[in-house]
Amino acid sequence: MITLRRSAERGHADHGWLKSFHSFSFADYMDPRHMGVGNLRVINEDRIAPGTGFGTHGHRDMEIVSYVLSGALGHRDSLGNGARIVPGDVQRMSAGSGIRHSEFNVAEQAETHFLQIWLLPDTKDIAPGYEQKHFSADDKRGHLRLVASRDGRDGAVTVHADASIHAGLFDGDEAAELALAPGRLAYVHVVRGAVQVNGESLQAGDAVTLRDETSVRLAQGKDAEVLVFDLAA
């Protein structure tokens, strides 16, 4: 079964310095029909104005993944980590028993555009942690590159959740297929461009949930960037 959700159906918030689209209920956007898919709880598409950002705040018991599309995101946390996250980087922060952090646009005179992704962890109260890796456009061109997984295989960042995240770039005749084990869910989010997912035509910001499907099939991309989530049901 394939459930389609168009970009315009997402929640939206405009705080001036921050413009955000919410795939699932978040902050002031509440829709009981859209509370997440499996253990995927949040996908926020954020655009942060130059010289602004999220001040120091806390999290617990959540796996938080940042995926930067343009600009540069500065990160500091209570573990002593400080980083600059740029396009191609995937950052994982395990909030666990508690962590405080801040995020700021550190691109000079440019908007920073990124996805903030939250996954429910397998176990609560783990030690907080941080990891960041870079995946080039060549890594993702014409196929699905594993960028996050529970076991950190193939050079992916490690998430403490029963989930895998794949990223791919598709244009023209480029196509890919990802097999799904019985009982698994898949969630496909089109980051930009356009692509067909199991025969459905999607544009930037659109997403599909796949239940009881044997695979995710991507084809006929037009400058498409796609994230595919393999999730616990």
pTM of the model: 0.95
* pLDDT (0 to 100) of residue 233: 79
pLDDT of residue 202: 98
Which CATH number applies to 137-231?
A: 2.60.120.10
- Domain 9-134 matching CATH 2.60.120.10: the answer reads yes
Give the pLDDT means over successive 10-residue stretches in the chain (233 positions).
95 96 95 95 97 90 96 91 93 93 91 97 94 96 97 96 98 97 96 97 98 96 98 87
Q: Hey, where are the domains in the chain?
A: 9-134, 137-231
**Residue 22 CB neighbour total at 10 angstroms:** 22
DSSP 8-state symbol, 155: G
Whether the domain at 9-134 and the domain at 137-231 fall into the same CATH topology: yes
Quote the pLDDT of residue 14: 96
Cβ neighbours of residue 46 closer than 8 Å, sequence gap 6 or more: 18, 19, 20, 113, 114, 115, 116
